[in-house]
């Protein structure tokens, strides 16, 4: 029995320990869960605290900036006030100066008008002493032009300075002035008139100075009309007029017209190779004198070039391609070449003429080989005679037989005298033109050939044209009619 009791006691003693351990384990588990649960709460709290700190810092910065701005404004406001005061002060001073200047200008004519004031007092005394003369005086005042000026000045709101002046002249001649009463009445009248005239001496300045300035000359005019002495017109200052005229230089004497030189000869300028480019052609279409332009057949702008040349009033001819001595040179489309029959040559030339027709004549392009061939040139000249046009031999070779064949056919032909632009420098072209001028003086005419791709030639001839006319030369295109069987160097 005692053993059982001991066991029970021991079990009872040990049970609190177990319970204590259980409670501790439960509390540990609870604390662990709470800590696990509190960890996320602590991170969110930290974030909230950091956001709050940032907002507080921003608020502090804004407050500091506002305070700084207020300090700056407080410092700048006095300066602005001072500047505004200074500006208003300067504006007031300028306004005062303007007022004083306008018052001075107003007072100047008033003082001039107030000088004859003593005689004004007499008629007023006489008017008070003898009232029976007022009607006559009023009639005179109405008839005088001064009364009209009063009405005009009253409409313009002018000062009342002219009210007492018109009766100044009739007072000494009236009998009332001689029979005036005692000095007591005169002194009383003078006091009254002085009181009336006080506002005239110092008139109040009006806002609009323009009508007042117009009134001032009216006062002078009234004074002049009262004295019946016409105003002298303003005499111009001779010294000032002389000084103004001195810098003007006298007009240059016109030069004597230059005597025109006697007739020196006729010049004909021919420009080859049109049909390649329309822009280059335009420079020669603007030349201020008549000329001849030769158009190549079978090119892109052949027909258009011929149309523009005719429209510009220049002469169009066919620039017929022919084979040269150098067989490697291609004369171009529609060329007359060796080995062709006479009929073939005629057909080629007819076709080329039809492309740019109507034309006045034709000349050869290249052709140093074919112009030396009598059969070929005979066929070409047959077409020339058929179409009633002329032929110009460009003389690309000294062995040309064109003149010989033409003489056999009793035809007139033309020959070139000078090639201008073999060397395209300005000095070289000038020397070639001068050679042509000497030929024209000797033979009466000269045909000079250039090319449309030499734009500098067009500029040079435009500059030289007035001098050529003054030297006695005439300029023209190639004549279509000449004496048969002759070789011509121009018109």
Instruction: Of 324, 330, 327, 362, give the one whose Cα is nearest residue 346.
Output: 362
* 216 in Cβ contact with 176 (< 8 Å): no
Could you tell me which residues come within 8 angstroms of residue 213 by beta carbon, excluding any fewer than 6 positions away?
105
Q: From the centroid of its chain, how far is CA 24?
A: 106
Instruction: Give me the pLDDT at residue 72, please.
Output: 84
Instruction: Give me the pLDDT at residue 164, please.
Output: 41
Three-state helix/strand/coil letters over 225-286? HHHCCCCCCCCCCHHHHHHHHCCCCCCCCCCCCCCCCCCCEEEEEEEEEECCCHHHHHHHHC
Give me the helices (H) in 286-373, please: 302-311, 342-356
Give the C-alpha separation, 67 to 61, whole Å. 10
Give the C-alpha separation, 23 to 31, whole Å. 12
pTM, whole model, 2 decimals? 0.50
Instruction: Of 412, 434, 420, 418, give the one whose Cα is nearest residue 479.
Output: 412
Could you tell me which residues come within 8 angstroms of residue 109 by beta carbon, excluding any fewer than 6 positions away?
216, 217, 219, 220
Give the C-alpha separation, 370 to 324, whole Å. 7
Q: What is the DSSP letter of 336?
A: B
Instruction: Of 144, 146, 138, give the one whose Cα is nearest residue 220.
Output: 146
* 466 in Cβ contact with 394 (< 8 Å): no
List average pLDDT for each run of 10 residues in the chain, which is 491 residues long.
49 48 50 47 80 92 90 78 71 74 63 46 41 44 46 45 41 41 46 47 46 43 45 51 52 60 94 96 97 97 97 97 94 96 97 97 96 96 96 95 96 95 96 97 96 97 96 92 65 56
Exposed / middle / buried, residue 310 (Cβ in 10 Å: 0-12, 13-18, 19+): middle
Instruction: Give me the pLDDT at residue 483, please.
Output: 63
User: Length of the chain in residues, anyone?
Assistant: 491
- Per-residue model confidence as pLDDT tens digits over 269-294: 999 999 999 999 999 999 999 999 99
């Amino acid at each position: 029995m005692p053993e059982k009791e001991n066991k029970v006691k021991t079990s009872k003693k040990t049970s609190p320990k177990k319970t204590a351990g259980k409670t501790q384990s439960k509390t540990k588990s609870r604390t662990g869960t709470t800590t696990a649960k509190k960890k996320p709460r602590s991170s969110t709290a930290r974030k909230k605290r950091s956001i709050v700190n940032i907002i507080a810092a921003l608020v502090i910065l804004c407050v500091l900036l506002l305070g700084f701005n207020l300090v700056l404004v407080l410092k700048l406001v006095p300066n602005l006030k001072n500047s505004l005061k200074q500006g208003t002060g300067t504006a007031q001073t300028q306004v005062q100066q303007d007022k004083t200047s306008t018052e001075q200008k107003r007072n100047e004519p008033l003082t001039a008008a107030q000088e004859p004031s003593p005689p004004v007092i007499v008629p007023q005394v006489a008017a008070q002493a003898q009232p029976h003369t007022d009607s006559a005086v009023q009639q005179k005042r109405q008839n005088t032009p001064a009364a009209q000026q009063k009405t005009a000045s009253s409409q313009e709101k002018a000062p009342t300075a002219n009210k007492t002046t018109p009766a100044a002249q009739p007072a000494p001649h009236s009998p009332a002035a001689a029979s005036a009463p005692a000095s007591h009445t005169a002194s009383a009248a003078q006091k009254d008139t002085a009181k009336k005239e006080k506002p005239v001496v110092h008139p109040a300045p009006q806002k609009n100075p323009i009508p007042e300035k117009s009134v001032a000359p009216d006062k002078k005019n009234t004074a002049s009309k009262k004295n019946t002495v016409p105003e002298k017109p303003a005499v111009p200052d001779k010294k000032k007029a002389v000084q103004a005229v001195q810098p003007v230089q006298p007009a240059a004497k016109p030069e004597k017209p230059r005597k025109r030189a006697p007739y020196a000869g006729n010049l004909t300028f021919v420009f080859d190779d049109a049909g390649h480019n329309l822009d280059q052609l335009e420079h020669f279409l603007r030349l201020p004198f008549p000329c001849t332009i030769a158009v190549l057949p079978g090119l892109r702008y052949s027909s258009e070039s011929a149309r523009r040349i005719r429209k510009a009033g220049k002469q169009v001819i066919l620039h017929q391609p022919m084979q040269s001595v150098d067989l490697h040179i291609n004369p171009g489309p529609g060329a007359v070449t060796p080995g062709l029959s006479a009929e073939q040559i005629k057909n080629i030339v007819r076709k080329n003429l039809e492309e740019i027709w109507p034309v006045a004549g034709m000349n050869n392009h290249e052709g140093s080989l074919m112009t030396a061939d009598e059969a070929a040139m005979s066929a070409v000249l047959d077409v020339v005679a058929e179409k009633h046009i002329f032929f110009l031999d460009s003389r690309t070779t000294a062995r040309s037989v064109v003149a010989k064949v033409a003489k056999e056919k009793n035809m007139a032909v033309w020959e070139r005298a000078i090639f201008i632009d073999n060397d395209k420098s300005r000095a070289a072209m000038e020397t070639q033109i001068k050679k042509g001028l000497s030929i024209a003086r000797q033979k009466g005419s000269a045909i000079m050939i250039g090319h449309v791709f030499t734009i500098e030639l067009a500029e040079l001839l435009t500059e030289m044209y007035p001098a050529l006319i003054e030297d006695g030369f005439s300029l023209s295109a190639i004549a279509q009619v000449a004496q048969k069987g002759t070789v011509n160097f121009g018109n």
